[in-house]
Structure 1
Amino acid sequence: MTLAIIGGVLWLLGIVALAVGILPGDEALAVADRVWPILLFVVAVTIVAELASKAGLFDVVAARLARLARGRTMWLWVLVLALATVATAFLSLDTTAVLLTPVVVAMAVTRKLDPLPFAFVTVVLANTASLVLPVSNLTNLLASDALGGHDPIAFLTLLGPSALIAIAVSVAVLTSVFLRKLPRTYPDATAPAVADPVLLRVSAVVTVALLPLLVIGLEPWMPALAAAVVLIVVFAWRAPRALGIRLVPWSLLVFAGGLFLAVGALEAVGIGRVTSVLAGSGDDLVSLWQLAGVGALAANGINNLPAYLAMESVAGSPVRLAALLIGVNAGPIVTPWASLATLLWHDRLVAAGVRVRWSRFVLIGAVIAPLILVLAVLPLAAG
């Protein structure tokens, strides 16, 4: 609700800027033309993930991983790390934060393991692993648009080494902090009940088929929308009560739409002059560190999406744009409000009855973020 209220205020500010001529009409139309495919993808992939979750897909996958680890906590830890990384890369950071978090928490609780370490895996990797593909983060989709197309191979070529470093740093820190505190083994648990095996199988097939379709160069909204339509039709047949208006992430849509409009108005009045001074220029290592660092500070100060939008125009080159993404994707894990995924993650933990101290989140993020900013930028300068 808070997100929707903020979004509504941003919409009002943008409309006022449009009405008084601060934001020209043609620029507002250009913003809308750029934004609608991204927001359509967000809606479609959210519906796919929500319906797959309702079918029990994530619960079954988590249970299979626990069985595959054969009672050894270390291997379960590795498998959950891998699951969070894959979910983030292909289905976006919000899917990992919102849908995977309660699944891994329930999996840990039923096996008498502390759920908090596994919850930290989902929130940290939801942010830091979101550098992998264009569909992993809204900022990536915006950057892909600025780079001239949604080519996942080109995106991986540019950011793949940096993404690998971000994931490796996250895994190393999380493992050193949490794994030693967990017992070496855990008891087995009964498999989760599946209400409708048909829905489960269809959801699994659709989700597995969607993953490669998101990385073959199509506009991401196309396969995501097709997958959403298929699942909606099947659920209308098998479980119509699962369908509803709440499947659409309205709060996120209102917030993102208002944010795009408001930032467009700020750019029209010359915010780029301020950000260009802060972000500097040049493709050398120090300049890239400066850009990534300013992006991370802005993201932790306000939020990563407005931070990216405000600084995109001063990135200036593919390498600088990649440095900015490192800052606004992997950097916003220090303050709770820096990433929408983090706020959504906390809501899910509260609903699951798991307490997390924000001081602990800040401390872990303050270790991981600087390491990533320093190390993940190195491949950009070397290239």
Structure 2
Amino acid sequence: MSATRRRLGPGTIIVLVLVAVALICLVTGILPAPDAGALGARITPVLGFVVAITIVAELARDAAVFDVLAQRLARWGRGRVIALWASVVLLAVLSTVFLTLDTTAVIVTPVVVVLAQSIGVSPLPFALATVWLANTASLALPVSNLTNLLAAPAIGENPASFLSLSWAPTLVGILVPVALLTIAHRRTLFGAYRMPSAGDPSDRVLYWGATGILLALLPLLALTHDVWIPATAAAVLLIVLFAVRRPHVLRLSLVPWQAIGLATALFVLVETAHANGVLGFLSVLATDGHGFGQLLGLASVGALAANGVNNLPAYLILEPSASDPVALMALLIGVNLGPLITPWASLATLLWHHRVVSLGVEIRWGRLMLWGVIVAVPTVVLATLALALVAG
């Protein structure tokens, strides 16, 4: 028993407790059966996508897709750090937009940190870029963030409807953090670096196969309404490819069990609170106006709630307060672009911190939180202004 307890970290214990409470709500009927059924129908494709895209990202990493890409970015930079910086920003944005923010935090972060260390450049600005862009670039498409997938059906029937409202705030969410990081780390970013030696993937069949599957998947994620379908197909193709070429990589831990358990438990608990009227007092936040002040109020509450309790429950709690697509997008600005301050505001931030510390990068939470305030406040305000202008 003691050995088992030593293997369970605090995060795992918290998830297990939440899952147990959620099960009690379901079994005892505290969450009525009709509400539970409706919730299940809503979240099943969402969680299915999360599982599939996580498997895709993990297997693509094992096929060296991200490592080879990073090496090529370094060579394309031709020894200029600012050119490499622009390439890394682009990589982080594309990874977040199409493969979710967790992929950027967990997979892209160690790649670019190790790359910076290998060429003799401070990895700190690159590490900060990945964690901030993982959050702020995650507003772009429904597939970019779990909160987006939940909101997408109410915003529009296809990704184009979502993008028509999200493109301007997302652009702000990318430009503001990048501009502030560039100014703060200008001495590092306007320097030079030594060119790294070229490296080839150990298994070219795996590399090119995984690369081809990713290239085929990305446009489908931007064009398809039921994104779990192409993501699942890509995951199956990669599993078959690895079963032939590198079967020992296929393991149950490819499935993000803890994240799925946490998300499912939060879905059930917040739905239980809504079904029993516990959160009815939040109706005072509801708005059907599209003025900048009204939208900023909703975005600000979302950002504060995300930094207080985490962005996913913050969205679930406040969702009924957003009465139309524009208000929903304002709420998404708050819970996606705002959680840059507290460590627990976003699961991606916690995952990122574990990765960078294990790679020897010193991160002090006090300083990181201060910089988070400096970045989050103007980003949320300007992104909401952009939404108000786009929405007319």
Q: TM-score interval w.r.t. the shorter chain? A: over 0.9
Aligned twin of 2:143: 135
- Residue 263 (structure 1) aligned with residue 270 (structure 2): yes
Q: Name the SS of the counterpart of 2:378 in structure 1.
A: helix
User: What is the TM-score with the length of structure 2 in the denominator?
Assistant: 0.94
**Which of 37, 53, 59 is the aligned partner of 1:51?**
59
State the Cα distance separating 1:182 from its structure 2 match. Answer: 4.2
Give the aligned residue type for 2:334: G
The gaps in structure 1 that reach 5 residues or longer are none
Q: 2 CA distance for matches of 1:179 and 1:276?
A: 46
Q: Deviations over 1:122-156 (max 9, x none)?
A: 0000000001111000000000033353x111111
Aligned twin of 2:122: 114
- Residue 102 (structure 1) aligned with residue 110 (structure 2): yes
Aligned twin of 1:276: 283
**Which of 308, 315, 318 is the aligned partner of 1:301?**
308
Q: What aligned pairs does 1:108-257 form with structure 2 within 5 A after superposition?
A: 108-149=116-157, 151-182=158-189, 184-257=191-264
Q: 1 CA distance for matches of 2:232 and 2:26?
A: 31
Aligned twin of 1:18: 26
Q: Name the SS of the counterpart of 2:29 in structure 1.
A: coil
Q: Name the SS of the counterpart of 2:222 in structure 1.
A: coil
Q: 2 CA distance for matches of 1:243 and 1:21?
A: 38
**Which of 76, 97, 105 is the aligned partner of 1:89?**
97
- Residue 33 (structure 1) aligned with residue 33 (structure 2): no
Identity of aligned residues (%): 52
Q: Name the SS of the counterpart of 2:199 in structure 1.
A: coil
Q: Deviations over 1:72-119 (max 9, x none)?
A: 011001111111011100000000000000000110011011111100
Q: Name the SS of the counterpart of 2:109 in structure 1.
A: helix
Contact 2:96 2:134 in 1 (8 A): yes
Q: State the superposition RMSD in angstroms.
A: 1.4
Aligned twin of 2:365: 358
Give the aligned residue type for 1:366: V
Q: Deviations over 1:275-322 (max 9, x none)?
A: 223465633221111100000000000100000000111111111100
Give the aligned residue type for 1:5: I
Aligned twin of 1:313: 320
- Number of matched pairs: 382
Q: 2 CA distance for matches of 1:125 and 1:343?
A: 14
Q: 1 CA distance for matches of 2:115 and 2:131?
A: 16
Q: 1 CA distance for matches of 2:380 and 2:165?
A: 16
Give the aligned residue type for 1:73: V
**Which of 79, 88, 92 is the aligned partner of 2:87?**
79
State the Cα distance separating 1:346 from its structure 2 match. Answer: 0.6
Q: 2 CA distance for matches of 1:128 and 1:336?
A: 15
Aligned twin of 1:369: 376
Q: 1 CA distance for matches of 2:241 and 2:104?
A: 24
Give the aligned residue type for 2:136: T
State the Cα distance separating 1:5 from its structure 2 match. Answer: 2.7
Contact 2:182 2:189 in 1 (8 A): no
Contact 2:155 2:162 in 1 (8 A): no
State the Cα distance separating 1:4 from its structure 2 match. Answer: 3.6
State the Cα distance separating 1:19 from its structure 2 match. Answer: 3.7
Q: Name the SS of the counterpart of 2:223 in structure 1.
A: coil
Q: 2 CA distance for matches of 1:19 and 1:218?
A: 33
Aligned twin of 2:5: none
State the Cα distance separating 1:184 from its structure 2 match. Answer: 1.0
Q: 2 CA distance for matches of 1:168 and 1:378?
A: 14
Aligned twin of 1:60: 68
Q: Name the SS of the counterpart of 1:338 in structure 2.
A: coil
